[in-house]
Amino acid sequence: MGKLIVISGPSGAGKGTVVQALLELYKTNNSKVHLSISATSRIPRVGEVDGVNYYFISESEFLEKIKEGAFLEYNQYGTGKYYGTLKSHVFEYLDKDYDVILEIDINGYKQVISNYPDAVGIFIAPPSLEVLEQRLRDRGTETEENIKKRLETAKSEMENKEIYPHIIINEDGKVLDAAVEVYNIIKDK
């Protein structure tokens, strides 16, 4: 049986880059890992492929699956669209001894832990909210309003980070160090 790993952290904390470096570490060590593919009721964007970026399903199918208890966790966002992690998808890999990585928010983590208490929760934090703000501004892709919104969300996520047994600070330019820390936590379990 593989291990179920939940990785959360505010947007701008560098979660995605740490996860990519983590996948590389698994590869280097010939260790089995799978980055979970979520299901969503939103329509695919140009270039997105069903079963690669997401499992794209209709809203009625999504609601049916909620009723069946098919999700390990799910959420409906402001857009009205649903996103969730299918139990069948995760267990297909855990049963084959793959560690499965979920990149989800704190709300999703709470649901995962109540359904599967053996899951390992890891929070990737920026060195400070000031650094996070700078990173969001440096991206140059966000509007002022968006930056404010993301900072608000980040602030409340940072205030709740203690529910994660592991908190990793992703220092500037130290992505590999953060990924190695995450890898060692997982392998120690």
Tell me which residues touch ligand 5GP (CB under 6 A): 38, 42, 73, 75, 77, 83-85, 104-105, 108
Q: Is 80 or 117 the residue whose CB approaches ligand 5GP more closely?
A: 80
Q: Is 60 or 79 the residue whose CB approaches ligand 5GP more closely?
A: 79
Query: Beta 39-40 vs 4-8: how paired, if at all?
Result: unpaired
CB of 89 to ligand 5GP, least distance (A): 10
CB of 38 to ligand 5GP, least distance (A): 3
CB of 81 to ligand 5GP, least distance (A): 7
Q: What distance in Å separates the CA atoms of residue 176 and residue 18, rounded to the nearest whole number?
A: 7
Write down the residue that tokens 């209709």 correspond to: 58
Q: Is 85 or 170 the residue whose CB approaches ligand 5GP more closely?
A: 85
CB of 28 to ligand 5GP, least distance (A): 27
Element (H, E) at 55: strand 55-56
CB of 29 to ligand 5GP, least distance (A): 26
Q: Is 184 exposed, middle or buried (0-12, 13-18, 19+ CB in 10 A)?
A: exposed
Three-state DSSP state, 154: helix
Q: Is 38 or 170 the residue whose CB approaches ligand 5GP more closely?
A: 38
Q: Look up residue 54 and give its two tokens.
A: 């997401």
Q: Which amino acid is at 24?
A: E
Residue nearest ligand 5GP, CB atom distance: 38
- How many C-beta neighbours within 10 Å does residue 28 have? 9
